[in-house]
Amino acid sequence: GEDVEQSLFLSVREGDSSVINCTYTDSSSTYLYWYKQEPGAGLQLLTYIFSNMDMKQDQRLTVLLNKKDKHLSLRIADTQTGDSAIYFCAERESRYGNKLVFGAGTILRVKS
């Protein structure tokens, strides 16, 4: 079945860039998503990319997609302490409508 993998933890200094990586297995995925979860809260949609795109930029966020390697990354420029959270990568399962398959999440810790 489909699988999404992420590294578990990333620590950066305030003001640096953060890069969170994700690999997926479903080569026919059409959309890939990044969600942010703060402690005790639900998931907040950050951005998403369609599979025919290589890159999408939205203010401090840059998403890069390498479809050949099935690799997705989220770059956060000028990382702030408020960016500390868990970041989830998800792919939209191609066979069953809008079902999402999530990675286990990457904990981002920003040190001031």
- CB nearer other proteins, residue 73 or residue 94: 94
**What would the two tokens of residue 74 be?**
């989220």
Stretch in the footprint of other proteins (CB under 8 A) among 11-19, 62-70, 76-84, 100-108: 100-108
**Rounded to whole angstroms, how far apart are CA atoms 45 and 68?**
25
Which residues are within 8 A (CB) of 19 and not within 5 positions of it... i.e. 6 or more apart?
Answer: 10, 73, 74, 75, 76
Q: Which stretch binds other proteins (CB under 8 A): 11-19, 65-73, 75-83, 92-100?
A: 92-100
Instruction: Name the one range near other proteins by CB under 8 A: 43-51, 57-65, 68-76, 77-85.
Output: 43-51
Under rule CB under 8 A, residue 103 binds other proteins = yes
Query: Which one-letter amino acid corresponds to residue 6?
Result: Q
The three-state secondary structure class of 83 is helix
What minimum distance in Å lies between the beta carbon of 106 and other proteins?
11
Please calculate the CA angle 94-97-102 and round it to the nearest 5 degrees: 65
Question: What is the rounded CA–CA span in Å between residue 81 and residue 59?
Answer: 17
Residue 61 binds other proteins (CB under 8 A): no
Q: Decide: is 102 part of the binding site for other proteins (CB under 8 A).
A: yes
Based on the shown chain and the rule CB under 8 A, indicate whether residue 49 belongs to the binding site for other proteins.
no
C-alpha to C-alpha distance for 80 and 15, rounded to whole angstroms? 6
Site for other proteins, rule CB under 8 A? 4, 8, 30-31, 33, 35, 40-45, 48, 88, 90, 97-105
